[in-house]
């Protein structure tokens, strides 16, 4: 059953003040402890649909806590790779293994391009849905309030989704993905529909939370500049394989227009846009 919506008589502001971290304070200890990333290893992984090969013989290791971006042309298999790692699809061949120091099974969550919020549930309840059925309503609500404070929505916890801007709805979706303290966060074009300034702000927010919590992040994007700005490593997927595997050796925090980032973007675009021999 979905979390019960807030009562009109609940003291939302009091609850938010109790859950919100102080400005400039370190992340809550529970968040830091639970933020151990999940390592991912693919060995000989292939995926076909109705005889059409989408991914072929992938050998790939993503260390725990790394931020990886996956770029490539439409239809190259980026989202399929993400779905395989999340367990939403089974490989046709090969094996995918996970490594985690956490005592519990590794938790994997995804954030989509569309926020996919429940229109009949208030913001805090949309986030609490990410905790599933386990735990008391009070505990889930407290955790949801704390995560909403982390994404800058402490004053919107009692709002309906329809009253939020596009960027605010995506922050709710991010909070819902993070509320269970995942070891791996998959990001499937989550910022593609946002305006340029909101997109840059969301990039910075995701990076800040990733640095604080230490989960493994895998970002699928068509935006090469976004990949270079956010990731430790960029995988360029082409013809069902990883054609380039590039380290982003630029110190954080990064700034847009950095010449080293521009050079990396140019290398990737030159590869993707190069003339192909006729079939």
Average pLDDT of 21-29? 36
Residue-range domain boundaries for the chain: 12-20+29-47+62-273
State how beta strands 184-188 and 108-111 pair. Answer: parallel
Q: How confident is the model at residue 134 (pLDDT cuts 50, 70, 90)?
A: confident
pLDDT at 31: 37
pLDDT at 277: 55
What is the CATH class of 12-20+29-47+62-273? alpha beta
Q: Report whether 241 contacts 58 (CB < 8 A).
A: yes
Rounded distance between C-alpha atoms, residue 69 and residue 231, angstroms: 6
Asked whether the predicted pLDDT for residue 11 surpasses 50, the reply is no
Asked whether the predicted pLDDT for residue 167 surpasses 70, the reply is yes
Q: Which has the closest alpha carbon to 79: 55, 62, 96?
A: 55
pLDDT at 255: 87
Q: Is 191 helix (H, G, I), strand (E, B) or coil?
A: coil
Average pLDDT of 177-193? 94
Asked whether the predicted pLDDT for residue 160 surpasses 90, the reply is yes
For the whole model, what pTM was predicted?
0.84
Average pLDDT of 217-237? 96
Compute CA distances 46 → 42, 74, 88, whole Å. Answer: 10, 18, 15
pLDDT at 274: 83
Q: Report whether 9 contacts 53 (CB < 8 A).
A: no
State what percent of residues in the chain have pLDDT above 70: 84
Asked whether the predicted pLDDT for residue 14 surpasses 70, the reply is no
Q: Which has the closest alpha carbon to 43: 55, 31, 51, 25?
A: 55
Most confident of 16-25, 119-128, 189-198: 119-128
Asked whether the predicted pLDDT for residue 15 surpasses 60, the reply is no
pLDDT at 97: 95
- The two structure tokens encoding residue 248: 């982003």
Q: How confident is the model at residue 104 (pLDDT cuts 50, 70, 90)?
A: low
In this structure, how many other beta carbons lie within 10 angstroms of the beta carbon of residue 146?
22
State what percent of residues in the chain have pLDDT above 90: 75
Q: How confident is the model at residue 30 (pLDDT cuts 50, 70, 90)?
A: very low
Q: Which residues pair with 60 in a beta bridge?
A: 42
Asked whether the predicted pLDDT for residue 199 surpasses 80, the reply is yes
More confident residue, 167 or 1: 167
> 252 phi and psi, to 5 degrees?
-95, 150
CA 183 to chain centre: 11
């Amino acid at each position: 059953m979905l979390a019960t919506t807030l009562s009109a008589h609940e003291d939302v502001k009091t609850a938010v003040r109790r859950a919100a971290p102080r400005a400039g304070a370190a992340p809550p200890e529970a968040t830091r402890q639970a933020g151990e990333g999940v390592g991912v290893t693919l060995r000989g992984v292939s995926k076909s649909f109705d005889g059409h090969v989408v991914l072929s013989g992938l050998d790939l290791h993503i260390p725990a806590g790394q931020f990886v971006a996956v770029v490539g042309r439409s239809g190259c298999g980026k989202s399929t790779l993400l779905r395989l790692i999340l367990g939403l699809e089974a490989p046709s061949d090969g094996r995918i293994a996970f490594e985690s120091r956490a005592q519990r099974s590794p938790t994997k969550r995804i954030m989509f391009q569309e926020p996919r919020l429940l229109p009949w549930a208030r913001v805090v309840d949309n986030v609490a849905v990410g905790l599933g059925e386990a735990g008391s309503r009070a505990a889930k609500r407290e955790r949801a309030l704390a995560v909403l404070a982390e994404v800058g929505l402490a004053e919107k916890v009692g709002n309906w989704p329809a009253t939020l801007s596009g960027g605010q709805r995506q922050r709710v979706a991010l909070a819902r993905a993070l509320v269970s303290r995942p070891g791996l966060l998959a990001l499937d074009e989550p910022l593609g529909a946002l305006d340029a300034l909101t997109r840059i702000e969301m990039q910075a927010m995701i990076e800040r939370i990733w640095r604080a919590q230490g989960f493994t992040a895998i970002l699928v994007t068509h935006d090469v500049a976004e990949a270079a700005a956010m990731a430790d490593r960029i995988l360029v997927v082409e013809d069902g394989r990883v054609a380039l595997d590039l380290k982003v050796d630029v110190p954080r925090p990064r700034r847009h227009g950095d010449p080293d980032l521009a050079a990396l973007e140019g290398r990737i675009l030159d590869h993707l846009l190069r003339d192909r021999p006729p079939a």
